[in-house]
Structure 1
Amino acid sequence: MARIADTEGLEAALDNEGVALGLLDNTYSPTLVEFYGELGLDFIWLDLEHGGPDPWDAPTMENLLRAGELADIELLVRLPDTDPTLVRKALDLGVRHVFLPRVETAAEVETAVRSARFQYDGEPGDRGLGAPRARRWGQVPDYVEAEDRETVVGTTIETEAAVENIEDILAVPDLGFVFIGPLDLSVSFGHPNELDHPEVQEAVETVRAAAVDAGVPVGGLGFGMDDVNMKAASGYRILNIGSTTGALGGAISDWLDAYENPT
């Protein structure tokens, strides 16, 4: 099936050469992961922090990964914790792009990134070497080099402390990207769900500007396509444009509103 959309691709976005558009699949359905790939999205966001399957549930995660591989779409997996063991588990299953929740210091980020590398910043990394699914059970001859080259670990910036430490976080070697979480930032700054509050907006802009200046790809949520286009023009490289339930809710609501009840 020919793809409908013509997007840049996640790898190009991470190289700061394009913009990747993706969608949060909050049904965690392999069928929909495959379908979205056929539509031409660059990535599917699987949020294991706020829902979804247990990240330790290997068969479920493998089926989601197989669907992404079949349709040539990347899975961007947010883990529920920064535990290095959990990071390694996800990577060994075949996840290539993970991002961390609620980090506040560069040390937390560096520990997680190091756990995803065999060689890290000129020193031994902390990743275990086995023959898991990511290695095709021992069938990939250049596995170590390929994993260190292709694995991406990013982090969400969603607390006041993380904003205060953003320069140090951005300086962590091999940090793949930062993703701005305005909803949790609004909570952290004491203004829950007030995304237009000056303190929240200032925090978002502080992170965006710092990431662009540091050459670290920055991601965020798009609140409508006008907002997506504006953010793409201002340096965002990874943009979530909606969710499965949001798209279904909008479509079904439109259908119901258009229904002309004859009674």
Structure 2
Amino acid sequence: MATSPRTNLLRRTLEDDAVALGILENTYSPTLVEFYGELGLDFVWIDLEHAGPSPFDGDRLEDLLRAANVTGTELLVRLPEPDPGMIRKALDAGVRTLFVSRIETAAEVRQAVEASRFEYDGDPGKRGFASPRASRWGTTDDYAGTEDDEIVVGVTIENPTAVANIEEILAVPELGFVFAGPLDLAVSLGHPGEPTHEAVEEQIEEIREAALEADVPLGGLGFGMDDVNEKARSGYQLLNLGTTTGALQGVVRSWFAEYEGLE
């Protein structure tokens, strides 16, 4: 018996010009992925560039994806580079929304998006066809005809070369979003650890203006809820609220601060 195609609610949110809120789950726990979904987050960010399992570890990815599927939240998976084989592996495991780091040119972006498609820009795409978890092991009705409509591939803009090429990057067909990366941009501009440095903020604003002009969804980091609210008002559609370890740190420190001890 055939099963219905998958639905990417995060893609629908972006297409509706609405704002999606999520959190970086940096302990890589399926339990916490499931819990964040129960709390109503639109996405849970899994960063495979800086930590966590190998991007080629299908078993670990499947466990995280199953946890997201339980509650209907979407896993937002960051890959360390625009490697077509890595992209295809993640998608076949069941990832529907991903973004890639370390890009500089429109050609690299096009290569990444093309790897995610069965059909691309009027021509055959570069995604391989098999019967993996993404197709419910071959049981999905019209998998080839529906899968491209559910996949979102974005890129991180995190170095001056990518910023200089931003208009060409934004013109790549079927680019799902651009994610403005102030932390890595600060490093590449010679100001590590200073995401609010004037030079960094100027480039972030250039990214924002170009994305809005090109009508490509824009993602970014929230540095506190005042910043999140301001970014939502200024056109960001994909906003990360914080991290698991950051949230725990804040709560536990507040407990210590309020502990009065023995009198």
Q: Indicate the TM-score class for this superposition, using the shorter chain for normalisation.
A: over 0.9
Deviations 1:140-199 (A, max 9, x none): 121012211110100000001000000000000000000000011111111112223221
Aligned equivalents of 1:11, 1:173: Cα separation in 2: 16
Distance 1:59 1:80, change over 3 A: same
Contact 1:222 1:239 in 2 (8 A): yes
Aligned equivalents of 2:65, 2:12: Cα separation in 1: 21
Runs of 4+ in structure 1 over 3 Å off: none
* TM-fit CA distance, 1:234: 0.1
* TM-fit CA distance, 1:10: 2.4
Identity of aligned residues (%): 61
Deviations 1:203-252 (A, max 9, x none): 00000010011000000000000000000000000000000000000000
* TM-fit CA distance, 1:17: 2.0
Aligned equivalents of 1:130, 1:22: Cα separation in 2: 31
Match of 2:167 in 1: 167
Contact 1:114 1:120 in 2 (8 A): yes
Match of 2:4 in 1: none
* TM-fit CA distance, 1:46: 0.2
SS of equivalent to 2:174: coil
Match of 2:85 in 1: 85
**TM-score scaled by length of structure 1:** 0.95
Deviations 1:3-52 (A, max 9, x none): xxxxxx62344215210000000000000000000000000000000001
Contact 2:81 2:103 in 1 (8 A): no
Q: Which moved more, 1:13-22 or 1:252-261?
A: 13-22
SS of equivalent to 2:109: helix
Equivalence map 1:226-237=2 (5 Å) = 226-237=226-237
Q: Which moved more, 1:53-62 or 1:128-137?
A: 53-62
Match of 1:23 in 2: 23
SS of equivalent to 2:98: strand
Residue 253 of structure 2 aligns with an amino acid whose one-letter code is: S
Aligned equivalents of 2:60, 2:94: Cα separation in 1: 12
Residue 35 of structure 2 aligns with an amino acid whose one-letter code is: F
Contact 2:11 2:152 in 1 (8 A): no
* TM-fit CA distance, 1:54: 1.1
How many residue pairs match? The answer is 255
Contact 1:160 1:185 in 2 (8 A): yes
Match of 2:67 in 1: 67
Match of 1:119 in 2: 119
Equivalence map 1:44-55=2 (5 Å) = 44-55=44-55
Match of 2:238 in 1: 238
Aligned equivalents of 2:43, 2:107: Cα separation in 1: 28
Gaps of 5+ in 1: 1-8
Aligned equivalents of 1:96, 1:196: Cα separation in 2: 32
Contact 2:80 2:102 in 1 (8 A): no
Match of 1:147 in 2: 147
Aligned equivalents of 1:257, 1:199: Cα separation in 2: 36
SS of equivalent to 2:34: helix
Contact 1:22 1:241 in 2 (8 A): yes
Aligned equivalents of 2:35, 2:189: Cα separation in 1: 38
Residue 254 of structure 1 aligns with an amino acid whose one-letter code is: S
